[in-house]
């Protein structure tokens, strides 16, 4: 997880310094693969304890890896928007899909 965060931070630093130009290969890989590595590490961490495969996170990680070539051709800010959008969709889906389960875990006194 930490390696994914560090890799993402490397790509993000370059992205914020060159928002209007296309990213070079290393910062584009850092930006996209760093976020993907974080999601995959999260899956590896939770897998043995919870059991089921996290399809949304896996799909999100694969999408992040798939947009690396595009991140080298579009402006850096657009690449960052794409990475942010994919990560936000994963989080939003999980928040909506598991809303009732989270309420039961966090507020056991509301069980009826």
What is residue 64's predicted lDDT score, i.e. its pLDDT? 96
CA 59 from centre of chain: 10
What is residue 52's predicted lDDT score, i.e. its pLDDT? 66
Q: CB–CB of 27/57 below 8 Å?
A: no
pTM of the predicted protein model? 0.83
pLDDT in tens, the chain (112 residues): 899 999 999 999 989 998 889 999 999 999 999 999 999 998 888 777 766 667 888 999 999 999 999 999 999 999 999 999 999 999 998 888 877 777 777 777 766 5
What is residue 112's predicted lDDT score, i.e. its pLDDT? 52
Provide φ and ψ at 85, rounded to 5°: -65, -45
Of 72, 75, 3, nearest in space to 35 by CA: 3
Distant-in-sequence, close-in-space partners of 31: CB < 8 Å, separation ≥ 6: 8, 11, 12, 14, 15, 23, 71, 79, 80, 83
């Amino acid at each position: 997880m930490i390696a994914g965060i560090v890799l993402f931070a490397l790509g993000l630093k370059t992205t914020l310094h060159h928002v209007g130009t296309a990213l070079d290969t290393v910062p584009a890989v850092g930006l996209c693969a760093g976020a993907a590595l974080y999601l995959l590490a999260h899956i590896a961490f939770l897998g043995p304890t919870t059991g089921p495969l996290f399809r949304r996170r896996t799909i999100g990680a694969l999408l992040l890896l798939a947009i690396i070539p595009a991140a080298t051709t579009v402006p850096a800010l657009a690449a960052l928007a794409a990475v942010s959008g994919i990560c936000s969709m994963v989080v939003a889906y999980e928040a909506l899909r598991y809303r009732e389960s989270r309420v039961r875990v966090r507020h056991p006194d509301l069980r009826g």
